[in-house]
Amino acid sequence: MNTDPFTQGDDQPVVVIGSGPAGLATAAELTRRGVGAVVLEQGAGIGAAWAARYDGLRFNTSRLHSALPGAPFERAWGQFPTRDQYVGYLAAYARSRHVRVRTHARVERLDRRGGTWRVTTPAGILTTRHVVVACGRFNVPVLPDWARRERFGGRLMHAFDYRNAAPLAGQRVLVVGAGSTGMEIAHELVGVAGTVWLSVRTPPTILFRMMLGAPGDLPVPVMMHLPPAWVDRLLRPMQRRVVGNLAPYGLPEASAGPMTRLRNRGGIGVAVVDPPVVDSIRSGAIRVVPAVDSLEGEHARLADGRRLRPDVVIAATGYRTGLEPLVGRFGVLDERGEPVERTGRESAPGLRFVGYVARPGITGYAGRLARRAASEIAARERASRRARRGSTPPASPARSSRGPAASRE
């Protein structure tokens, strides 16, 4: 890793933004093909976004589907690696594949100039023919309207700022959001915090990491090719048998099945947890309450009119990409701020996005998309070299059928 100021000699054919699995895999595949690439990471180390998550984070998908191509996880880690194991895995992956990473290199601006991109960072400007954006889908914490009104007399925090339960010992804590993160944080607080409430607006589809003695995600690659409604009908009886009926505890059965939610909402509304989390709900250690309507003084007002008095509110209310300031003016994002073209193909001349597909086992799948992107970039670079030597000119950059060309400011 390197944090020195950029010089003209640092310019590379490819600049990759983000040192998560998608960014590192793209750079590794480019390096393997003899194409120069540099990864820019705004944090202090490789995989900084993962390192910033809560201490108890574990993968929701098993080792078989979650490793980068050609780099399996260690068997000693079990089926579901921890946060720290994964961050170490990414650093080792970068070292073994000679990936060049510049840390503390936040990209402030991208500009298209005469067939090349100018990448502005605090350390200087890089000029490159190709930019691969791989910052990840969970980049900027999202707070609901009621949390942004700043009327609460207690402590309000996003799940992004939560590390572990110890600082909240003895306090009354309201966790808002019943996805995997919200439910796991609530469970961590049991026995440490004085009172734990879990606020639920839309009942989640609950799945266990292990189902009937095997990782629950093993059949997912096959299921992704089947009609979602058919898969939901297949899974619902098994889910009822394994998870059980939680309606008496404030969690009625979800209206949509897991595959429908995965396809339509990128997995929002699916909570993958371990059985002890559900046991804490059944025992009353986690008290399920309705959605929060507002924060007023020292109270949280619920949708049913009740008022709670938490010391701390943790909003496990999701993330957005935060890509608008960087590439919003190029017309390559949809209304949610997600890339329109998410498969590693060009969104605009010389601009690609890798790692923005919502599906289980995203690490392994992002690695396959990185291979595609690197292969196409390498082919473009070979054609460009032939043209500079005076042979046939390179083909014009293919415009994606799913995204417009970049503006030329």
Q: Which distant-in-sequence residues (6+ apart) come within 8 Å of 265 by Cβ?
A: none
What are the DSSP calls for 238-290, one per residue? HHHHHH---GGGT-PPPSS-HHHHHHHHTTTTEEEE-HHHHHHHHHTSSEEE-
Token pair in block for residue 396: 């014009």
| Residues 226-266: tens digit of each pLDDT | 888 888 888 788 778 888 899 999 999 887 777 777 766 55
Q: Is the pLDDT of residue 360 over 70?
A: no
Residue type, 39: V
Which phi and psi (to 5°) does residue 339 adopt?
-60, 140
What is the spatial distance between Cα 195 and Cα 407, in angstroms, rounded to a whole number? 53
User: Between β-strands 346-348 and 351-353, what pairing exists: parallel, antiparallel or unpaired?
Assistant: antiparallel
Q: How far apart are alpha carbons 324 and 346 in whole angstroms?
A: 18
Determine the straight-line distance between the first and last CA of the chain, rounded to whole angstroms: 32
- Extract the tokens encoding 221: 């690659």
Query: Is 406:348 a contact under the CB 8 Å cutoff?
Result: yes
pLDDT, tens digit (0-9, with 9 covering 90-100), for 80-96: 999 999 999 999 999 99
Q: What is the pLDDT of residue 398?
A: 45
Q: Which amino acid is at 219?
A: P
Average pLDDT over residues 29-43: 96
Quick one: pLDDT band at residue 63, thresholds 50, 70, 90?
confident
172-230: per-residue pLDDT in tens?
Answer: 999 999 999 999 999 999 999 999 999 999 898 888 988 778 787 777 777 777 888 88
Q: How far is CA 355 from the centre of its chain?
A: 8
The neighbour count for residue 382, using CB atoms within 10 Å, is 14
- The tokens of 391 are what? 């042979």
Looking at the predicted structure, is the pLDDT value of residue 274 above 50?
yes
Report the alpha-carbon distance of residue 118 to residue 15 in Å, rounded.
10
Yes or no: say if 127 and 11 are a contact pair by the CB < 8 Å rule. yes
Which pair of structure tokens corresponds to residue 11?
């310019």
Please name each of the domains of the chain with its CATH number: 8-139+321-388 (3.50.50.60), 142-318 (3.50.50.60)
**CA 138/CA 127 separation, integer angstroms:** 27
